[in-house]
Amino acid sequence: MTGALLAQLHPMVGAALTTHGDPLYDNGVGWFVWVVDVIKVLVAFGVLLVSVMLMIWFERKLISDMQSRIGPNRAGPWGLLQTLADGTKLFFKEDLLPERADRAMFKLAPYLSLVPALLVFTVVPVGGIIHISGHAFELQVADPPIGILLVLAMSSIAVYGVMLAGWSSGSKYPLLGSVRASAQMISYEAALGITVVTVVLITGSLSTRAIVQSQATNFWDWNLIRLGIVPFFLFLIAITAELTRPPFDLTEAESELVGGFHTEYSSIRFAMFFLAEFMNVITMSAVVVTLFFGGPDGPVPHIPSFSIWFPILWFLGKVFIFLFIYVWFRAALPRLRYDQLMTIGWKYLIPLSLGWLLAVAGFVVDGWWGLGIAVVAVALGTVLVRAFGIGQAREADLESAAVTTARRERPTRPVPGTLSTGEDG
């Protein structure tokens, strides 16, 4: 692995560093640039809203299929307009403000969820570069040099939406839900960030366009394969938790917390949380595709005036696979318990992603460095696993001791090798 990986790495890093910003701004900012930008924003906004509508429909339909049901099929052909109908209904419902709510925060929270969800999509490269009347521009709303940091920043701000929604509702279940949600999101953000750093490290740039371009040469350059498959899985698990999707949806566990942080929300504010949630699913799928699957990269057949569509189709196809996977998760996996969630996050994901990051960093520097760091990481990992094992055993001992103390009056089975005094029975 070392030699081959290394041979690929150095030219790749160099190539990625040569990319610079959006070519749209090369010739200054004129009226054309403004028009293009406004159109891009509007199109992205519209596409996102429509795709959320379709996503909700798709999720309901697919999960029905996986449960031998039919799903929505009344509103529109195949029930396609069901979401629209639900949205319309929510829009016209009474907007309740709980008496004990912190009014300003309660009203602010849905926007804190929604706006970051919308903004993340701006840095996702949807297609290649388009040339119109001498101007070249990228098919993505914005290509800031800090690209992927924006994703992390926005997902952190979204935590505020959840937290404030729960806190400002002035009731218990939302508060519990939001405490769970914020703890979960913050825990998994660490693993998420470290995995992103792995990608950034090998690309040598934070720009999403550069990340995509560095993977564009051929299939073997996709970060999925270039980084070893592990970071992808870590990232997938981390964003599933970040999105509070099943099996990590215990922030809105219906059986325990009613609706979680949005229990007290109704009408359009509730719809906004819902919108944000599904929009996040779509944008995060797009981010996975960008980071690990080469974004819009894929074979483009030479068909005149149609070849610009192929990258977009590749991108959409890849995103669609992830949307399918999210629904599949929901259908197949039971919800985790809170301590299991934290165990996975802190004891497995973070150490593993950190070790992998160090190994990748080593390989970027030099093959022997990489090998050395990998060995050290494995050794430390073994120690860590052993430590966790010992800790768990001790905890179990303490627990069982506590249980036996608590149930002293109940008859216990005599321990083999000891004489029963008869006091227990």
Residues found near other proteins in the complex (CB under 8 A): 64-70, 73, 328, 331-334
Cβ at position 358, least distance to other proteins in Å? 26
Which phi and psi angles does 53 have, rounded to 5°?
A: -60, -45
Cα 287 from Cα 277, distance rounded (Å): 15
Indicate the residue among 40 and 61 with the shorter CB distance to other proteins.
61
Indicate the residue among 69 and 131 with the shorter CB distance to other proteins.
69
Residue 297's Cβ-count burial label (10 Å; 0-12, 13-18, 19+) is buried
What phi-psi label fits residue 204: left (phi over 0), alpha (psi between -120 and 50 degrees) or beta?
Answer: left
Question: CA Rg, the chain, in Å?
Answer: 25
Cβ at position 36, least distance to other proteins in Å? 42
Cβ at position 253, least distance to other proteins in Å? 18
Q: Are 110 and 273 in contact (CB under 8 A)?
A: yes
Which of these, 344, 340, 348, lies nearest to 384 by C-alpha position? 348
Indicate the residue among 332 and 378 with the shorter CB distance to other proteins.
332
Q: What is the DSSP-derived secondary structure letter of residue 137? A: E
Indicate the residue among 36 and 331 with the shorter CB distance to other proteins.
331
Cβ at position 325, least distance to other proteins in Å? 10
Which phi and psi angles does 103 have, rounded to 5°?
A: -60, -45
Indicate the residue among 234 and 291 with the shorter CB distance to other proteins.
234
Q: Which two tokens stand for residue 411?
A: 């008859």
Cβ at position 236, least distance to other proteins in Å? 14
Q: Is the peptide bond before 247 cis (omega within 30 degrees of 0)?
A: yes
Cβ at position 341, least distance to other proteins in Å? 15
Indicate the residue among 49 and 66 with the shorter CB distance to other proteins.
66
Cα 232 from Cα 94, distance rounded (Å): 43
Cβ at position 244, least distance to other proteins in Å? 19
Indicate the residue among 165 and 327 with the shorter CB distance to other proteins.
327
Cβ at position 64, least distance to other proteins in Å? 8
Cα 222 from Cα 202, distance rounded (Å): 11
Q: What angle do CA 344, 346, 350 make, to 5 degrees?
A: 100
Amino acid (1-letter code) at residue 26: D
Under DSSP, is residue 132 helix (H, G, I), strand (E, B) or coil?
Answer: strand
Indicate the residue among 18 and 73 with the shorter CB distance to other proteins.
73
Cα 154 from Cα 122, distance rounded (Å): 11
Residue carrying the six token digits 């922030």? 251
Q: Which two tokens stand for residue 238?
A: 């981390």
Q: Which two tokens stand for residue 66?
A: 């996986």
Which of these, 252, 9, 212, lies nearest to 127 by C-alpha position? 212
Cβ at position 277, least distance to other proteins in Å? 21
Indicate the residue among 196 and 327 with the shorter CB distance to other proteins.
327
Cα 388 from Cα 420, distance rounded (Å): 35
Indicate the residue among 328 and 369 with the shorter CB distance to other proteins.
328
Cβ at position 62, least distance to other proteins in Å? 8
Q: Are 169 and 263 in contact (CB under 8 A)?
A: yes
Which of these, 4, 100, 101, 55, lies nearest to 330 by C-alpha position? 55
Tell me the CA end-to-end span of the chain in Å, nearest whole number.
64
Cβ at position 69, least distance to other proteins in Å? 5
Indicate the residue among 160 and 324 with the shorter CB distance to other proteins.
324
Q: What is the DSSP string of 304-324?
A: TTTTTHHHHHHHHHHHHHHHH
